[in-house]
Amino acid sequence: MKNYRFLVMIGMVALLGGSVYKTYDSRKTLNDNYEGALADARENRKLGVWVNAEEDYLNAIEINDNIDVRVELGQMYLDAGNKGTAINWGEELTNLYPKEVSGYEFLIKAYITDEDYAACFETKEKVDALKLSSKEINEMISKIQYEYYLEHSYDDASIFSGGYCRVKYNDTYGFVNINGDETANTDFVEAGAFSEELAPVVDKDGNAYYIDTEGHKKKVIDFVDNVEKLGFIYDDIFPLYDGKDWTFYNLDGKKIAGGFDDVSSMGNGIAAVKEKDKWHLIDEKGKKVTDDEYDEIAMDEKGVVYRKDRIFAKAAGKYYLLDENGKKVTDDTFEDARPFNGEGYAAVRIDGKWGFIDKDGKVVIKPEYVEARSFSNGFAAVRRATGWGFINEDNDVVIECKFDDAKDFNDHGCVFVAIDDKWNYLLLYSQNH
């Protein structure tokens, strides 16, 4: 009996060994077939025999489906110039392997090849949402962060203010929002910048009043007999021209100060006013900030002179950097200057070239440009011999200098640029996709 049991055990071991051998042999055959198909695919890819390479890759995937080989096949589609096929393959790949970052790396590469930058940033957002990490993706996104597209076309455009920009079309003015969508009727003969959701306009009948963001009449100044022009509103204070001189009022009808030949807007509690060919500074109560007089005071497109606690004023042919009290911040002088805009550097002209200074008057970007505007939301418009473009605060040219003119970037990555006497809306893919 004991001998029988021993023989049975020997038989079972023999059978098991045979089974293991067959399984091993089967796996070895499959692996050999997989490696063979993959080797053939790579050889044909190297030789540029795309049809055969594709067939070999698909055979390998059928034997052993994995993301690495799928990425190789996708890259082969790019090598062959089949951008559309590569993109479709990459999109399918990320659906099959949604938590594998290499699929997204390939897909973004395919989108970049096709110059579909909006899709690149959308894919990056998916990667971030999945909390995947990829140095390669970060590097690719960094290289395209300044790619842009153009929309719309107008005869004229201003800088953005209060989320809106004045545009001109067929000799009349209207407004667009930060997305470039028209929000107000384009039937005004004059228009100014939005502030506190009000903008000054003059209609075709010569009536001056304030409109809301939808273009509707909102505020009529009825406490002055004749109103020819209205200015930018700041803290309920605005300038008004009655055909003779300029006066500052608040929206309740209280006169702040008047009798001026010209004025800036009241901005951040300070305005510039002109009397008898000389300019001086007043505060929001109408009092002189200083007794000093100037030949010119630098203003932005909204007419604001006081930004970042600094003012540029011209005397004896030179511009000085002043603080809120009208005191010189530095003894250095400038041939020309643009007011500070937000937290960035100010553009100044030195020895015939434009560069940039900080609020202490220190040169942070050496003068090298034909013309320049102050930094706004991380960018500055600069002009070279080839045209206008944009730099960042490291003085890298991030948008080629090829436009006829350029305005200031808003905080949504948008700006107006001029091309062939038309103003086009430029949007960064990174913030608009």
- 25 — pLDDT class (breaks 50, 70, 90): low
Instruction: Specify if 39 maps to a domain.
Output: yes
By the 10 Å C-beta count (0-12 exposed, 13-18 middle, 19+ buried), 350 is classed as: middle
| pLDDT for position 32 | 78
Phi first, then psi, for residue 262 (nearest 5°) are -160, 160
210 pLDDT higher than 50:
yes
Instruction: Specify if 70 maps to a domain.
Output: yes
pTM of the model: 0.87
Instruction: Specify if 422 maps to a domain.
Output: no
Q: In angstroms, what CA-CA distances link 252 with 223, 284, 293?
A: 9, 15, 30
pLDDT, mean of residues 333-349: 95
19 pLDDT higher than 70:
no
Closest CA to 431 of 227, 39, 87, 144: 144
Report the range of poorest mean pLDDT among 36-50, 129-143, 185-199, 318-332.
185-199
> Which structure tokens are listed for 226?
């004749």
321 pLDDT higher than 80:
yes
Instruction: Specify if 186 maps to a domain.
Output: no
Instruction: Specify if 216 maps to a domain.
Output: no
| pLDDT for position 179 | 79
| pLDDT for position 9 | 35
Long-range CB contacts (< 8 A, 24+ apart) of 93-102? 93/67, 94/123, 94/126, 96/67, 96/70, 97/67, 97/70, 98/130, 99/130, 99/132, 100/67, 101/127, 101/132, 101/133, 101/134, 101/137, 102/67, 102/68, 102/71
pLDDT, mean of residues 301-320: 96
| pLDDT for position 110 | 98
Instruction: Specify if 281 maps to a domain.
Output: no
pLDDT, mean of residues 76-98: 97
Which range marks the domain in which residue 54 is found?
29-148
- pLDDT per residue over 408-417, tens digit each? 999 999 999 9
Total domain count, the chain: 1
pLDDT, mean of residues 170-176: 90
Instruction: Tell me which residue has tokens 């990174």.
Output: 430
Q: What percent of the chain has pLDDT over 90?
A: 86
Residue-level length of the chain: 433
| pLDDT for position 342 | 78
| pLDDT for position 26 | 56
List, in sequence order, every residue forming a beta bridge with 379; answer none if it has no partner. 376
Alpha-carbon dihedral of residues 273, 276, 279, 284, nearest 10 degrees? -30
Q: Give the list of residues 6+ apart from residue 394 with CB closer than 8 angstroms, or none.
A: none
Closest CA to 426 of 244, 133, 405, 219: 405
By the 10 Å C-beta count (0-12 exposed, 13-18 middle, 19+ buried), 50 is classed as: middle
- pLDDT per residue over 356-408, tens digit each? 999 999 999 999 999 999 999 999 999 999 999 999 999 999 999 999 999 99
| pLDDT for position 28 | 57
Instruction: Specify if 199 maps to a domain.
Output: no
Q: What is the CATH number of the domain that holds 38?
A: 1.25.40.10
Instruction: Specify if 58 maps to a domain.
Output: yes
| pLDDT for position 30 | 61
Count of helix runs (H) and strand runs (E) in the chain: 7, 29
| pLDDT for position 15 | 35
pLDDT, mean of residues 237-241: 97
